[in-house]
Chain A
Amino acid sequence: MSDNTINIDGQTVPFLPGQTIMEAAMAAEVYIPHLCHNPEFTPHGSCKLCTVSVNGRSAAACTMPAAAGQQILNNTEELNANRRALVQMLFVEGNHFCPFCEKSGNCQLQALGYYLGMMDPHYNHFYPARAVDGSHPDVLLDLNRCIMCELCVRASRDVDGKNVFGLTGRGIHTHITVNSPSGRLGDTNLAVSDKAAEVCPVGAIIKKRHGFAVPIGERLYDHKTIREVQTEAHK
């Protein structure tokens, strides 16, 4: 066996030194379900959807460095059941109403629900009271749909150089805050062309006046699974 390979579900996958399991898997077109991870950004490791079994121990594939000879389980019934439970928890923890959400069909949380065969949210709903901020002329912030992946925080800080968003509070009280004296998005220097305005995997950050530009039925995950879409995108 070559030194720089790992084994994912019986498939030999090469890796470059310094790559994570997720990066090596993506390069080899092996799909590991993920939500807070976006290959353009530093891994965050918070959603735990990419949890795989590495030599018998659980690890987040997006943060775990690949190391020679790792025996990894990924697409197993048990791991996918755990992932389904995580998606269900994200659904009941926020207010996710797909029927009137503009992100429906393009939403990664929804697409993962479909991919993992989620038929119901299973857990009791929290129905938390969360704010909607429409103060920005071009961007709507709806915290009902936020899953705290921190992608907008990372994009604004690392790409836009603006630090418009931040995460505050702990545990169940964790939430996104807006970095302006009033706490309103309209009082920040966020621009609609910013990376932070387009990186949201769910419908929490929505560009105004683009509603239904692509009709339901012709959207990203309407005919292709998130596995197919993301594997193609990373080719």
Chain B
Amino acid sequence: MSEQKKIRVATCSLAGCFGCHMSFLDIDERLLQLLEHIEFDRTPLTDIKHCGPCDVGIIEGGVCNSENVHVLKEFRKNCKVLVAIGACAVNGGIPAVRNNIDLWECFQEVYHYGIGLKNGQIPNDPELPLPFDQVHPIYEVVKVDYFLPGCPPPADAIWKFLTDLLAGKTPKLEYETLHYD
């Protein structure tokens, strides 16, 4: 078998919970099969800090702060194909529930008035990224090529999606694997 150049894949979680990444790991031993065809760039598995030139970028989570936008734009710049994975990347998801709560009130509730809190402080270290007043899905910031909804998408959906993509086909999910929840 001729040595084929591997497809380079980067993944990251923005305003997400890493649940989609966990679901990705749920493809279990098929991960080894996948690794025959792909190699990882920046992912939570490799600890590479910045996304380099890639074939596929997979983004979990929506955009909730300035750092999210920088990472997202870096992915878009470097990835030939950008994929939004999970409810948060697709429509903001659970983090977007705060969109109608004033940011200051939100912080006060979390750091000052929450149950069991005493002398709480709202973090204001200049190293911390600035939070936005609203959380938005990634396609409202950059062009996204493919969407894989679900909270999280089941491992079988991720497997079908990736194998279709690697085979050069438009990913197509069976009815029972397409879920918004």
Interface of A with B (CB < 8 Å)? 91, 95-101, 104-105, 110, 113-114, 117, 119-122, 124-125, 127-129, 216, 222-223, 225
Contacts and interface: CB of A to CB of B under 8 A. Distances in A.
In the A-B complex, list the 4 residue pairs whose CB atoms are closest, starting with the nearest. A99-B151, A98-B180, A120-B147, A119-B147
Contacts of B134: 127
B96 A127 contact: yes
A216 B139 CA distance: 28
Nearest to B148: A119
Contacts of A110: 180-181
B79 interface: no
Interface string B69-102: 0000000000000001001001111101101100
Nearest to A110: B180
Contact of A113 (B87, B96, B180): B180
B137 interface: yes
B67 interface: no
For chain B, give the interface size range: 20 to 34
A98 B176 CA distance: 16
A105 B136 contact: no
Contacts of A128: 100
Contacts, number: 72
Interface of B: 84, 87, 90-94, 96-97, 99-100, 134, 136-137, 139-140, 144, 146-149, 151, 175-176, 178-181
A122 B147 CA distance: 10
A214 to B, nearest CB: 14
Given A98-B87, A99-B87, A120-B90, A114 B96 contact: no
Contacts of A105: 181
Contact of A104 (B84, B97, B175, B181): B181
A125 B144 CA distance: 16
A222 B137 CA distance: 25
A125 to B, nearest CB: 6
B96 A98 contact: no
Contacts of B84: 120
Residue among B91, B96, B136, B140 with the most chain A CB within 10 A? Answer: B91
B26 to A, nearest CB: 16
